[in-house]
Structure 1
Amino acid sequence: MNNVTIPLVIKPEVKAALQQGKPVVALESNVITHGLDYPDNRLTALKVEAAVRESGAVPATIGIADGKFLIGMNEEEIELFATTANIPKVSTRDLPVVLAKKQLGATTVASSLIAAEMAGIDFFSSAGIGGVHRGAQETMDISSDLIQFTQSRVVVVCAGAKNILDLGLTLEFLETHNVPVISYQFDDFPAFYCRSSGFKAPQRVDDADLLAEIIETQWCLDDGRSVVITTPTRVEDAIDSEEVNDAINDAVRAAEAQGVSGNAVTKYIMKAIDKVTNGRSAAANSAVLINTARVAGYLAVAHANQKQRQKENAA
């Protein structure tokens, strides 16, 4: 018999919102520790939380400390994660080790979903999800984010996935595993800070209330899967996809020639994109995080209202 429990340290504001049925949006901490340099990482994290609030929802940045999930961080904790070196990036497989060792840990999309579901949070926002990597036919390099979508009953609002991935196979994987992918007010599946990946989204929905109804219907049909909702970055913040794709293709060839492999390839490619765009990709990264959080907050409000109407109708 397993007597181990994973404590949740839920920020009072988040706990009150959950108890009152108010909308809450979970956020990952990996973007603080591994996405941007200080102080941009701290400032962006605070702006992302502010964007959720502006939409009428409560933000809950998730992290790991002292063997516990932090469900919501205060500014001091965000500062700690933003300034502490070598905080590990914690995906699903890493959770038991980091929690048992009582280390600080920065949650990815996948591990954030686990914590969010444990806390009873319905919505999660991320700039970009992981996916099927290029060459996965040989390497089997598939993000654990996709696996977690088949196991967590959480709405994932994102700007698609990065162009460095095989986005066609990513969509195929989600289709095969029956994970709904819905584009909000846009025809295409976006590609992080590029508005379009070149692939049409499986479904498009323009109305937030209808999306809320779709979410509830999905969970009535299949209680254990995520619903992935995509929203593109704003036109003024986007980077041209051709510019990015050329940089990616050049970087992939250079990485192969230099023997770069494994996790190092992603960092290599992202640095190449940053160089080609003269640093614009870093600003675009922050912008897509903020915009996605804003949309997630708005959709979370619509969903909370839908649940309240259902409760009133059932009374």
Structure 2
Amino acid sequence: MRLAPEVAEAKACGAPVVALESTIIAHGFPWPDNLELAREMEDAVRAAGAAPATIAILDGEVRIGLAPAEMERLAGGGVAKCALGDVAAAIAAARDGATTVSATAHLARRAGIDVFATGGIGGVHPRTGDDAPDISADLPALGRTCVLIVASGAKSILDLPATLEVLETEGVALAGYGTDIFPAFHTADSGLALRHRVDSPAEAAALLRAQRRVEAPSAVLIANPPPAEFAIARERLDGWIARAGAEAAAAGVSGAGLTPWLLRRLDTLSEGETTRINRALAIANARLGAEIAAAFAAA
């Protein structure tokens, strides 16, 4: 594991650090939008007073923070997506890997980073026929990784009630940021109520401190609604999701390829609205993550 100089310096002096995933660079957006977004997320973290630590695997080595050339290398394509179960294989084979939520959360905790910001977590995919439930590796990882994660809920294409059930089972401390409703990535309103909320970075930081004091093994998930000026009305979004889901089923798309396929189709159906909000919420979450990390470090 190698820490970038900016990250190592911040940790040495007790300054706040925010982990960022690298899948959003390698798989979330096309070139060169992906590189631009990665830079904007890091800039948002710095502007809020923290050091960004984008996490990836390069040549089999875990990198906690990336140099500009390393960021470009990931954005250029051809990098495998690495959930937590793929990390060891990438290291053993000296390959490159872009880390998902599950891998990033684990590696951030190992590096002593308390806060991680991302767009949205994975969850439970809707059942199709008699197929076994498809549950993202993110959910069990959050059940055993005590970091604070800022995300705009779970992606709207998922089975959100089932996702909330698994988060509860895993003991994840879930709170809305300024909201009592679970956000659904592209929309602020999933229609699903939350039991807990926080209304400031200091309150979110206090939640992580309490989770650590009781020695809970699970994460704190701060569900930050997407920026209001970009958020999509739930009714419009539901129509696009239903259409995209039916098309995916007709085309036989399933498994790991389903989520990126659906997100690309939603971008087309919405004439780019879903991609614009994806970008805006990723930057907003990076900024909030930095504010929470600063509050946690100051206590």
TM-score of the two chains, using structure 2 as the length reference: 0.96
State whether residues 219 and 225 of structure 1, in contact with CA within 8 Å, keep that contact through their aligned partners in structure 2.
Answer: no
- 2:98 aligned with 1:106: yes
Give runs of aligned pairs for residues 147-186 of structure 1, distance below 5 A: 147-186=140-179
Amino acid at match of 2:100: T
Q: Does 1:87 align with 2:79?
A: yes
Residue type of the alignment partner of 1:301? A
Corresponding residue for residue 117 of structure 2: 125
Deviation at 1:263, TM superposition (A): 2.3
TM-score by length of structure 1 reads 0.91
C-alpha contact (below 8 Å) 1:57/1:301 kept by paired residues: yes
Distance 1:182 1:70 in 2: 30
Report 1:1-315 matches (<5 A): 8-83=1-76, 85-135=77-127, 138-306=131-299
The structural deviation recorded for 1:223 is 4.1
CA distance in 2, matches of 1:237, 1:297: 21
The 2-side partners of 1:271 and 1:12 are apart by: 36
Deviation at 1:203, TM superposition (A): 0.6
Gaps of 5+ in 1: 1-7, 307-315
Please report how far the alpha carbon of residue 50 of structure 1 lies from its aligned counterpart in structure 2 after TM superposition. 0.6
Structure of greater Rg: 1
CA positional deviation for 1:211: 2.4
Query: In 2, are the aligned partners of 1:25 and 1:300 still within 8 Å (CA)?
Result: yes
Instruction: Summarize deviations over 1:101-156 as a string: whole Å, max 9, x none.
Output: 11111000000111101110000001100011111884221011111011112111
1:268 CA drift (Å): 2.7
Paired residue type of 2:138: D
Distance 2:248 2:205 in 1: 43
Gap change, CA 1:168 and 1:16, over 3 Å in 2:
same
SS in 2 for 1:198: coil
Q: Is the 8 A contact 2:201 2:288 kept in 1?
A: no
Q: 1:197 is matched by which residue type in structure 2?
A: S
Q: C-alpha separation between the residues in 2 aligned to 1:219 and 1:62?
A: 23
Q: Secondary structure at the residue paired with 1:235? A: coil
1:198 maps to amino acid: G
Distance in 2 separating the partners of 1:207 and 1:86: 39
Aligned residues: 298
CA contact (8 A) 1:65 1:104 kept: yes
Note the residue ranges of structure 2 that are not aligned, 5 or more in a row: none
